[in-house]
Every structure is written in structure tokens, then in C-alpha cells.
Amino acid sequence: MDLKIVHFYHSPYFFYLDKVFMKKVKSSKGQIRAESLFKRTLVAIGVSMIVLVFCLMLTLIIESVPSMKSLGLKYLWGKTWDPVNNVYGALPFLLGTILTSFLALIISIPFSFAIAIYLGEYNPKGWLSNFLKNTVELIAAVPSVIYGFWGLLVLVPLVRTMEMKLGILPYGIGIFTASLILAVMIIPYAASLGREMIRLVPSPLKEGAYSLGATRYEVIKNVILPYTKSGLFAGILLSLGRALGETMAVTMVIGNTSIIPTNIFSPGNTMASVIANEFTEADHTVYLSALIELGLVLFVVTVIINMIGKGIIKKFTNE
């Protein structure tokens, strides 16, 4: 033991290390300063994000005051949106937003999960996998106004033909069409996150299941999905957030009426779409303020849904 140490002390390697450390000690003061500066920068940028979100909310609240004063809580369950008589009720738009977003989510989940499982488990490498992965990611990169045009020119006539066969008023435009468009737009979010999660499943787990005689389907069902469920759910949450706020594509195909939707084929409107449509020409104070309050409601709805989602993810992870 002793001999070894002596040997090490006299080795050329030791002298090399010694040189490096001496150099480091000399510059240590500057290093410490740089370290703390770096840390402080990180904290400052992090905190500024929190401040930004709170300022955003504060602005929304302050600007909504005239509308809150004149309409009170009735704003939330009022059914009429009448800029001429200054009566504003957000209920039709609240329903429209929630209905389109959740319908879109239900439509998109089979697709995004199938893509995630195929790319994560069945075919993680190779040109087909890459091609599919890039195509799905491209879906997220296409500007929403293009989806709107595509919806208006292709999807609306298709839905209209379907509605004629079903014997419903053949508008072609409405909540169902908007949900279809939204579903396509949100697939990549859940699919990409799901794929990453599935690839992170430790192979000993999978190999263990295979060695016990499980089939591929059984491994996916009993090992991969339970292991990744919190991640998959986070992907769904991400998709939902996107669906709640989407404006342009929705406003082009939803029909923009402030009448409460009676079924999924009836025309409606969403909060984001109303704001985008009416904000620039809102010509009196209460009107403008009512639109900003709509933004506040959308903000709060998003926060609530996110909090519920986080709660569910936490529950999944603890199990």
C-alpha cells in the first residue's frame, strides 16, 4: 500500500495533475465569481418568467374591471353576447371551447398513441421510422391558417355530404369539423412525447417479460403502457393546451355563432376565436373589457385543466 502511494507520487502522471491543479487554484477566484454570476443569471431568468405570467394575469384582471363592474358574475353563465346593448355572456364560447378541445382530444388519442407505440417499440430505427417521425413533426410545424383553408375547402364539403346522409342540417361547418381539424393539429404533441417515453422503458423490464413468455402485445399492455402512463398523460395534456388556445383554424370552420350549441354538429364559437374576430373593432370600453375578460376566463380554464392534469400525473407516478 505504502509503496504504491510513493510510486504514484513519483509518477509523471502526478506531476501533470499537480500542474493542472496549481493553475486552477490561481484562477479560482475568477472561477467562483463566474460560477455565482452564472447561477444568478439562471435564477433571474427563471424568476422573470414567473413575474411575466403574473403580470399577464394582472393585466387581464385590471383590464377586465369595467366589464366585471357592469356585468358581474352573470358574465360567466350569460347566454347572450350583444355588443349593441352591451350585454355579454361567455357561456356559449366557454362551452364551445371545451367541447371542441375534448372532442379533438378523443379523436386524436388513438392516432397519437398508435404512432407513439409503433415508433417507440416496433420500428424505432430505419428510413420508414424516420420518415414517419419527420412527417408527424411536420404536422406541428404547418401554420394553423393553412389547416383552416384545408378545412374550409376539403373537410367542410366532406362533412356536409356526411351530414346530408345522416339527415342533419347540412352546414358542413360547426363544432365537429373544428374538432377534426384540431385533432389533426394536436396529434404530434402526444405522439412525440409518447415515443420518447416508450423508448426510455428499461430493456431489462421488457426482456424479463419476454423471457416469461409474453407476446409483444402483452409486453406493451402490461409493461410499457403502465410504465409510461404518466408520460403519455403529460403528452395528452400538452395536446389539450394547444387545442384550447387554437384560434385561426377553428374560427374558419366553426361557424362563429353565439348561440349555445345543441349537438356536436351545430355551429358554435370558441373564446380564442371571438377575441381574434372582434378585438380590433371593439368600439366601446365595456365591449373591449368583456373581450379581455374572455381572455382571463380562457387563462383560468387552462390553468385549472393543467392543475387537474398535474394532479393526475402525480397520482400515476406515486402508484
Partner 1 sequence: MHFFRNLKRNIATFVLAVTALTGLQMKTFAQDDKTLLGAGSSFINPLFSKMFAEYNAKTGIMVNYQSIGSGGGILQLTNKTVDFGASDGPLNEEQAAKFGVPVLHITQASGAVVVTYNLPGDNNNISLTPSIIADIFLGKITTWNDPKIISINKGVNIPGLPILVAHRSDGSGTTNIFTNYLSKVSPDWKTKVGSGGAVNWPTGLGGKGNEGVAGLVKQTPGAIGYVELIYALQNKMDYAKIQNKKGKFIVPSIASVTAAGNVTLPEDSKIFITDTDAPDGYPIAGFTWALIYKEQNYNGRSLDHAQKLLKLLWWNIHEGQVFTVPLNYAPLSKEALKVAEKILKSATYNGKAIL
Cβ atoms of residues 261 and 267 within 8 Å: yes
Cβ atoms of residues 191 and 115 within 8 Å: yes
Task: Verify binding: residue 36, partner 1, rule CB under 8 A.
Answer: no
Task: Verify binding: residue 284, partner 1, rule CB under 8 A.
Answer: yes
Shortest approach of partner 1 to residue 209 CB, angstroms? Answer: 34
Task: Verify binding: residue 258, partner 1, rule CB under 8 A.
Answer: yes
Among 1, 3, 44, 84, binds partner 1 (CB under 8 A): 84
Shortest approach of partner 1 to residue 86 CB, angstroms? Answer: 10
**Of residues 174-203, which lie at the interface with partner 1 (CB under 8 A)?**
none
Shortest approach of partner 1 to residue 282 CB, angstroms? Answer: 6
Among residues 133, 234, 239, the alpha carbon closest in space to that of 189 is found at: 239
What is the CA angle 184-190-194, rounded to 5? 140
Among residues 104, 134, 105, the alpha carbon closest in space to that of 119 is found at: 134
Task: Verify binding: residue 82, partner 1, rule CB under 8 A.
Answer: yes
Cβ distance to partner 1 smaller for residue 67 or 256: 256
Task: Verify binding: residue 285, partner 1, rule CB under 8 A.
Answer: yes
Cβ distance to partner 1 smaller for residue 101 or 251: 251
Shortest approach of partner 1 to residue 161 CB, angstroms? Answer: 12
Among 5, 22, 85, 165, binds partner 1 (CB under 8 A): 85
How many residues lie near partner 1 (CB under 8 A)? 29
Among 97, 239, 256, 289, binds partner 1 (CB under 8 A): 256
Shortest approach of partner 1 to residue 157 CB, angstroms? Answer: 7
Cα distances from 27 to residues 19, 33, 40, 41, 230, in angstroms, run: 13, 10, 20, 21, 46
What is the number of alpha carbons within 13 Å of residue 129 lying toward its C-beta? 13
Determine how many CB atoms are found less than 10 A away from the CB of residue 205. 13
Task: Verify binding: residue 172, partner 1, rule CB under 8 A.
Answer: yes
Shortest approach of partner 1 to residue 76 CB, angstroms? Answer: 18
**Of residues 51-80, which lie at the interface with partner 1 (CB under 8 A)?**
80
Residue/partner pairs of 282-290 with CB below 8 Å, 24 or more apart: 282/83, 284/86, 285/66, 286/66, 286/67, 286/70, 286/71, 286/86, 286/88, 287/83, 287/86, 287/88, 288/63, 289/63, 289/64, 289/65, 289/66, 289/67, 289/68, 290/67, 290/71, 290/75, 290/88
Pick the piece of the chain touching partner 1 (CB under 8 A) from 221-229, 237-245, 252-260, 306-314.
Answer: 252-260
Determine how many CB atoms are found less than 10 A away from the CB of residue 135. 11
**Of residues 128-157, which lie at the interface with partner 1 (CB under 8 A)?**
152, 156-157
Binding site for partner 1 (CB under 8 A): 80-85, 152, 156-157, 171-173, 251-252, 255-258, 267, 269, 273, 277-278, 280-285
